[in-house]
Structure 1
Amino acid sequence: MCLLVLTMMVAGKPGNGYAGDIIADVLREKGVITKEDWIRIQAAREKEEAETQEKLKQEFPVKVGWGKKGFTVETLDGKWKTALQWRFQGRWTYPERSDPRDGAAFSDNPESTFELRRVRMKIGGHGYRPWIKYYFELDLQPTRDDDDDPASSSTRLLDWRITIERFSWLQLRVGQWKINYNRERVDSSGKQQFVERSIVNRLFTIDRQMGAMIYGHLFPGTMVDSWYFAGVFTGEGRAVSNDDDNMMWMGRFQWNFLGRDLKFSQSDVEYHEQPAASIAGGVYTTIGKCTRWSSSGCGNLSGFTSPSAASDGQFRVDGIVEEAAFKWRGFSFQHEFHWKQVKDSRIAEGAPGHRSNLFGSYTQVGYFFHDLLPVIPKPLETAFRYAFVDPNIAASGDFRQEFTGAFNWFFAGHRNKLTLDVSHLTLDQVVGNDLTEQRIRLQWDVSF
């Protein structure tokens, strides 16, 4: 009896579970305690452990961890969760930081630049219910030119949004984010196949806007698997209030015709065993001061009045995009064709400059050749992109082209990768030979 009491005391002490189990097993093997005694000892231990766990839950009802979205803190009931992630994108470029757009940029002095292209802090999760989600993203240090206002490189809030995902077929998002108009722009800068987006992006993206959108996933897993998006926004870009009662209206429809959803991400790092493909189309219309948009907010295309000098509702801008994408066994394909029209209300109907039409397109492919030639390292991807833009089809000498080849080395998917790309850029000339420039860029993109 004394041995039995002693055994139960040892087994019941917090932290002595392993020792207590050994003692109980030894005593049972030697016949000092019966099988029934051993069962009671185990039951007492399990009860003690359950009570200890319940006490811990009441005193500290959260768990911490790390995953693909960074450091996480989550309540044990699953109703609250926050993920924090840091992202660094360091880049070296020569001889241009950005895409040259005119003759002066093509012929200026070369620049060799190291820059922190993107330094981001991302905070996201859910609250009250797992289907009430939120997300914030801060840009901590955008790189600027030496003659820029220092404020242009100050910390700025890029995204803030709340999403209600109670039903997959009907979801609601409100806030500020890169609205779901075209794939290249919605694809995160950390999930690109090249160092930067194509020359098409600057002219045709509608970027981040403030507003509301409904969207949904219809008939998943079938041949009519599809997504729809419909939203209304201020139309003035990131963190800019509206100047009148006109709004931006946007719609997009995406058909995953092979019955498998294709996420907004470039390169087939997931290695799709089954082919996944989509075709999509988007439209938008807005009236305001802006003729282009970027992460900096409302801006103007070359040759158009700047937002600070434009009158309220001066420009009507309409756009259409056609899009296709495909991934299968390490191969990826992505394509967009854009049309955009800008009407200037300050210029009379029919007069030169009243209506301007823009066209642009890109096509890119990538492949992990290890699947064909095992001698090639598995993390290495090769990619190529062709793009063109015509900023005004009625004008000459402004047609630009981009030919870019790239190599990606994925240390941990898109969360840690090294990218090297080389571009041949051209600008048509009315008289004489076209202007050309070659550019090389090296970038490390890593998230913690």
Structure 2
Amino acid sequence: MGIHRYRMTALFRWLAAVLFALSLLEGPAPSRAEAAETGRLVEKDGRYVFVESMDPAMRLLLERALKQGTITQEEYNAVIQESEQRAYLLQPSFKVWYDRGFNLSMNDNAFLLKIRGFIQSRFTQRFRNDAWRNPGDAKNYPELLGVFGDYRATRSENAASTFNLRRLRLLFMGHLFNPDLKYLVQLAGETAENAQNPASVQVLDAAVMSTHVPALNLMAGQHKVFFNRAQINNAMTMQFTERALVMDAFTASGLNRRDIGLTIMNDEELYPINYYVGIFNGLGPGFNRIGLFNSEQPTEGCPGGQTGGTPPGCPANQRNLNANFRSDISQLMYVVRLVWNVMGRPGYGEGDMLYSETPQLAIGGGYAYNPAINTATNNGFVGIDLANLNVRRQLATFGNGRQLGWGLLDYSTYAFDLVYKYRGFSLQAEWYWKNINRHQKGAPFLGPTTGTDVLPGTGGVAPGLLGNATGWYVQSGYFIIPRKLQFAARYAWWDPDTNAAGDLVKQVDAAVTYYFSGTYDHQLAIQYTNLFMGTGGYALGRSAPLPSSPVALTTSGNVPLDAVQRNLIENLIRVQYSIFF
């Protein structure tokens, strides 16, 4: 028995010595606090479970040997300590798990990467009245095609059935060095319902955010502009399959929801009043003012490129492509927003998904100033415009097509919003106003100046001046089954030109959405929309002074789109499946 005990003691002493030598090779010895640890907490299936460092079977054998006197207490402690140290040194320096995204994190929490995907597929059935065939829409949402950005009216048959991959997103987010230095990169490969080209991958967001000082957070890069509630909210947390048309028309820049710049804000979760101050390029994602150019005039005061007529005293058929001049490149867009969380924190997600037990109320407002947006060059014929196609196409895409062709414009946009949530009920409303200041105060030249195409007294210029724009919407929803089944309704109203009549846009929406997992991440939505769009008013380059006689209609081929003024009416049904994983 004594010989056996001696051999066991020698064996454990040898094992301890080997482990100690290995620990010296692998790194410094652990502190007393580390050696005292017997395991660690591990997250599994949403629960934290304590896992010992040493295999339970080995620990049982050691404890029995200690109880039987085969080894001493000192030998037992030494082996346990060295075993824990070895397990600590050999464990991976990172962990990978899934929790609403694929997560990769370093053990010291110096780095976190979360990868998420977003797929939104849709079926749309449209029913349009005969006015969509003639005259169609050429004023709010014209199509700009070709190198010259030629205008095309949006026309179609009465019925259309389409499948569409509406949104396809890949997100990379997390933090660097410490949790207060966050980053976000979002890629998109999707198409709008009326897209004419296949989807291509583009960068939507690429921003870094510092939250080291709660009262002074900083976000830099390309990201959504914090201006109005509808603009900040993301597509997955909307109560409807698509934003109302008026929401897109009154973004901060008038061109896009995103821009490149800098935003300073405070922590939304800590303060009852939140502020946002931003400075941006003002031209949408992936673009700045260096990319804009004007084709200078070969002869001072004589625009070139017109296809019909020549301004008095100017050479005929001269081109205006002799120089590309960059102007207003020092201009930036400035945005401010304030939000008062009167009761609770309703956040920006639409609908009361959390089924709030106490009332949640917030009011907010924003102001954006975006100067020197060049909507056209100085061409005599407005439809030919090699410059600023990126800006012009964005204006048309977001419903601000009536502002095309009016030269340099300064936008001053105001927005005021309210949101209320309580026990599954939600109410949200916004009002918008956009002041449009034209640098050239006179009516722009449209051409031609002579001939039978000119209405007496017009002199080849636009018959009216562009006005401002205003609009609003109100929407409400209720969860019939908490966190599962929601009904929502919305009414939106929009006047794109306050100087014109017969151009109002009115929209009514009703939607029902089922949330499979009780979150926004997995849902099926059905939406009905009734859209009324007036075709009145004036749009430069798409409306022209009416020919002076019926003969001119046949000889010139210049049939103005104003010749038939009919209201466009559309009824559509969207069925949309969304998953965010």
What TM-score, normalized to structure 2? Answer: 0.65
- Call closer, same or farther: CA 1:437–1:368 in 2, change over 3 Å: same
Give the Cα–Cα distance (whole angstroms) in 2 for the partners of residues 269 and 324 of structure 1.
17
Aligned to 1:19: 57
Give 3-state SS (helix, strand or coil) of 2:116's partner: strand
Kept in 1, the 8 Å contact 2:392–2:404? The answer is no
Measure the CA separation in 2 of the matches of 1:441 and 1:304: 30
Secondary structure of the equivalent of 2:212?
A: strand
Shift of 1:405: 1.0
Tell me, in whole angstroms, the C-alpha distance in 1 between the residues paired with 2:526 and 2:188: 23
Equivalent residue for 1:140?
189
Equivalent in the alignment of 1:375? none
Any conservation in 2 of the 1:236–1:288 contact (CA below 8 Å)? no
Change (3 A) 1:126 1:324: same
Is contact 1:407-1:420 (8 Å) kept? yes
User: CA, structure 1 residues 287+325, in 2 after alignment: closer, same or farther (shift >3 Å)?
Assistant: same
Asked if the contact 1:343–1:355 (Cα under 8 Å) also holds between the matched residues in 2, the reply is: no
What amino acid maps onto 2:395 in structure 1? G
Query: Which residue of structure 2 aligns with residue 344 of structure 1?
Result: 438
Letter in 2 for 1:17: D
Query: What is the percent sequence identity of the aligned residues?
Result: 25
Give distance in 1, aligned partners of 2:390 and 2:68. 79
1:278 is matched with: 362
The answer to whether residue 495 in structure 2 is matched with residue 422 in structure 1 is no
Name stretches of at least 5 consecutive residues in structure 2 with no aligned partner.
20-51, 138-154, 293-328, 376-387, 445-461, 537-563
Q: Distance in 1 between matches of 2:507 and 2:118?
A: 28
1:383 is aligned to 488
Match of 1:49 in 2: 84
C-alpha distance in structure 2 between counterparts of 1:293 and 1:267, whole Å? 38
Give the Å deviation of 1:368. 1.0
Question: Counterparts of 2:500 and 2:333 in 1: how far apart (Å)?
Answer: 28
Indicate which of 90, 100, 120 corresponds to 1:89: 120
User: Distance in 2 between the 1:219 and 1:117 partners?
Assistant: 32
| 1:59-98 superposed matches below 5 A | 60-68=92-100, 70-95=101-126
1:77 match: secondary structure = coil
Q: Whose Rg is larger?
A: 2
Please give the alpha-carbon distance, in whole angstroms, between the structure 2 residues aligned to 1:271 and 1:294. Answer: 43
- Change beyond 3 A, Cα 1:357–1:298: same
1:267 is aligned to 2:351: yes
Question: 1:205 touches 1:293 (CA, 8 Å); kept in 2?
Answer: no
Give 1:211-250 correspondences, 5 Å limit.
211-217=261-267, 220=270, 225-242=272-289, 243=292, 244-250=329-335
In the alignment, what sits opposite 2:297? none
Match of 1:208 among 244, 258, 262: 258
User: What is the Cα deviation at residue 40 of structure 1?
Assistant: 5.8
**Match of residue 423, structure 2, among 329, 335, 339:** 329
Matched, 1:155 2:201: yes
Q: Distance in 1 between matches of 2:223 and 2:104?
A: 24
1:255-300 CA distances to partner (integer Å, 9 max, x unpaired)?
Answer: 0012x33322112212222222110010111123367999998424
For structure 1, list consecutive stretches of 5 or more residues without a partner in the other structure: 372-377
Tell me which residue corresponds to 2:31: none
CA contact (8 A) 2:238 2:350 kept: yes
Would you say the 8 A contact 1:88–1:446 is kept in 2? yes
Offset of 1:73 from its aligned partner?
Answer: 1.2
Q: Higher relative contact order at CA 8 Å, sep ≥6: structure 1 or structure 2? A: 2
Which residue is equivalent to 1:374?
Answer: none
| Cα pair distance change 1:50/1:410, threshold 3 Å | farther
Distance in 2, Cα, partners of 1:174 & 1:65: 29
The answer on whether the counterparts of 1:208 and 1:297 sit within 8 Å (CA) in structure 2 is no
Deviation, structure 1 residue 142: 2.5
Change (3 A) 1:117 1:347: same
CA deviation vs aligned residue, 1:393-438 (integer Å, no higher than 9, x gap): 2212221211111111112311111111111222347799965322
Against the structure 1 CA distance between its residues 96 and 21, is the aligned structure 2 distance closer, same or farther, given a 3 Å change threshold?
farther
C-alpha change, 1:218 and 1:86, in structure 2 (3 Å) is closer
Asked whether the equivalents of residues 239 and 297 of structure 1 are also in contact (C-alpha less than 8 Å), the reply is no
**2:127–2:570 CA contact under 8 A, matched in 1:** no
User: 1:116 and 2:165 equivalent?
Assistant: yes
Greater shift in the superposed pair: 327-336 or 346-355: 346-355
Instruction: Please state how far the C-alpha of 1:55 moved relative to its aligned partner.
Output: 3.2
**C-alpha separation between the residues in 2 aligned to 1:294 and 1:328?**
43
